[in-house]
Amino acid sequence: MSPPLPQRAPGAAPAPTAGGPGTLDLTITKRLLWVGGAVYPLQNVARVYTFVLHPRRKDAVLRFLRRTALTILMAMAFTLFGAIAGFLSRGAEEDFSSVIQFIWIVSVGAVIYFIVDVLSVLTASSHFVLAVESNGQSTALVTGRPEHLNQAVHQIAYAIENPDTELRVQVERLTISNPSNYYFGDTVNMYGGNGNVGMSSA
């Protein structure tokens, strides 16, 4: 068990300990769990667990294919419409050709953006994280060495079961550019009917 924490005023945040710029303290004091500067009442903690945070690579590829196909189809449709309109007017070919050229320039720019977006997900790293879920919608995520985080889960569980226990462990901040590019937590699948739930780890 960690050594006792220094005394502080009631309601004050735990004093930070020395560490690198990417580290933060995960602290339990009586009825509160502090994750850096965020605080969670222990009675509201629903689950503490570790898992590997994987990028949504398959979703990113499918999204890229859908976006690219839709963009090219729209550009081809506008091109066909412009060609027909130019043929029927027979006097404004230059105007329609400039519009078609602009449409293809915008389409190429959009495809380049889609490529950059999908590459940002495909090249993203997986992270081993510790998650603290509350009864509400909030979830705290921190990272670090797997053995250190797995040990922290047991330490937090012990501290929750023993209210007089005080705990402080140092973890690392989770830094990801876009959280929507990652799978979080468990994947829940419904198998027919109402109320039938199958759960498998993500």
**Which residue in 73, 150, 71 sits closest to 108, CA to CA?**
71
pLDDT band at 198 (very low <50, low <70, confident <90, very high): very low
Rounded-to-integer distance, Cα 164 and Cα 136, Å? 25
Mean pLDDT across 90-95: 55
pLDDT tens track for 154-165: 988 888 888 777
Rounded-to-integer distance, Cα 43 and Cα 92, Å? 73
Rounded-to-integer distance, Cα 77 and Cα 70, Å? 10
| In the predicted structure, residue 153 carries a pLDDT above the cut 60 | yes
| In the predicted structure, residue 195 carries a pLDDT above the cut 70 | no
Rounded-to-integer distance, Cα 52 and Cα 146, Å? 10
| In the predicted structure, residue 80 carries a pLDDT above the cut 60 | yes
Share of the chain above pLDDT 70, in %: 77
pLDDT band at 67 (very low <50, low <70, confident <90, very high): very high
3-state secondary structure of 144: coil
| Residue 183 vs residue 88, higher pLDDT | 183
pLDDT band at 193 (very low <50, low <70, confident <90, very high): very low
- Count of other CB atoms within 10 angstroms of residue 80: 11
| Residue 83 vs residue 201, higher pLDDT | 83
Secondary-structure breakdown of the chain: helix, strand, coil percentages, each rounded to the nearest 5:
40, 25, 30
| pLDDT attached to residue 197 | 41
Window from 7-21, 61-75, 77-91 with minimum mean pLDDT: 7-21
DSSP string, 45-78: EEEEEEEEE-B-HHHHHHHHHHHHHHHHHHHHHH
Task: Please provide the average confidence, as pLDDT, over all residues in the chain.
Answer: 78
pLDDT band at 95 (very low <50, low <70, confident <90, very high): low
pLDDT band at 15 (very low <50, low <70, confident <90, very high): low
Mean pLDDT across 191-196: 44
